[in-house]
Amino acid sequence: MAANVCTNLARRYVNYGLTSRLCHRCYTHGRQLTNSEVRRKRTTLFEAEKQRQLALVTRTEKIEVRHVGPPEECTLIMNKGLSTPFNCAMHIQELLMTRSALALVNGQPWDMHRPLEEDCELRFLHFLDEDPRLVNTAFWRSCSFILGHILETAFKDKFYVELCSFPKPDILSGSFVCDADLKIPHWKPSAVELNILGGQGVKLYHDDFKFERLDVDASLASQMFEDNRFKSQQVPLIAAESESGSRITLYRMGTHIDMSCGPLISSTNHIGRFSVSAVHSIESSDFGSLSRVQGVALPTSVKMHYWSYEILQKRAAKLNPAPIPSVQTSVSGMAMLEQQ
The DSSP line for 124-135 is EE-TTSSS-HHH
Gap between the Cα atoms of 57 and 239, Å rounded: 24
Gap between the Cα atoms of 1 and 24, Å rounded: 32
Cβ atoms of 265 and 258 closer than 8 Å: no
pLDDT of residue 32: 78
* Strand runs labelled E in the chain: 27-28, 31-32, 62-67, 74-79, 102-105, 108-110, 120-125, 162-165, 176-181, 211-217, 247-253, 256-259, 271-284, 288-299
What mean pLDDT do residues 201-211 have? 96
Rounded to the nearest 10 degrees, how much is the dihedral formed by the CA atoms of 336, 264, 321, 174?
Answer: -140
Say if residue 321 is preceded by a cis peptide, omega within 30 of 0: no
pLDDT of residue 157: 86
Gap between the Cα atoms of 277 and 175, Å rounded: 8
Proportion of the chain above pLDDT 90, given as a percent:
81
- What residue type is assigned to position 74 of the chain? C
pLDDT of residue 4: 47
For 312, residues 6+ apart whose C-beta sits below 8 A from its C-beta are 174, 296, 304
Cβ atoms of 285 and 325 closer than 8 Å: no
pLDDT of residue 334: 53
Cβ atoms of 270 and 300 closer than 8 Å: yes
Q: Is the pLDDT of residue 23 over 50?
A: no
Dihedral sign (CA 296, 135, 218, 208)? negative
Gap between the Cα atoms of 85 and 122, Å rounded: 8
What mean pLDDT do residues 135-139 have? 97
pLDDT of residue 331: 58
Q: Is the pLDDT of residue 29 over 90?
A: no
Per-residue confidence at 127, pLDDT binned at 50, 70, 90? very high
Query: Could you read off the pLDDT of 142-183 as tens digits, one per residue?
Result: 999 999 999 999 998 888 999 999 999 999 999 999 999 999
SS3 (DSSP) at 60: coil
Query: Could you read off the pLDDT of 34-88 as tens digits, one per residue?
Result: 999 999 999 999 999 999 999 998 899 999 999 999 999 999 999 999 999 999 9
8-12, 197-201, 203-207: segment of lowest average pLDDT: 8-12
The DSSP line for 173-225 is GS-EEEEEE-S-TT----HHHHHHHHHHHHHHHHHT-BEEEEEEEHHHHHHHT
Query: Could you read off the pLDDT of 320-332 as tens digits, one per residue?
Result: 999 999 877 655 4
pLDDT of residue 8: 45
- What residue type is assigned to position 266 of the chain? S
Proportion of the chain above pLDDT 70, given as a percent:
87
Query: Could you read off the pLDDT of 109-122 as tens digits, one per residue?
Result: 999 999 999 999 99
Gap between the Cα atoms of 253 and 204, Å rounded: 10
**Order of strands, sheet of 74-79, starting from the edge strand that comes earlier in the sequence:** 74-79, 62-67, 120-125, 102-105, 108-110
Q: Is the pLDDT of residue 261 over 60?
A: yes
Query: Could you read off the pLDDT of 219-256 as tens digits, one per residue?
Result: 999 999 999 999 999 999 999 999 888 999 999 999 99
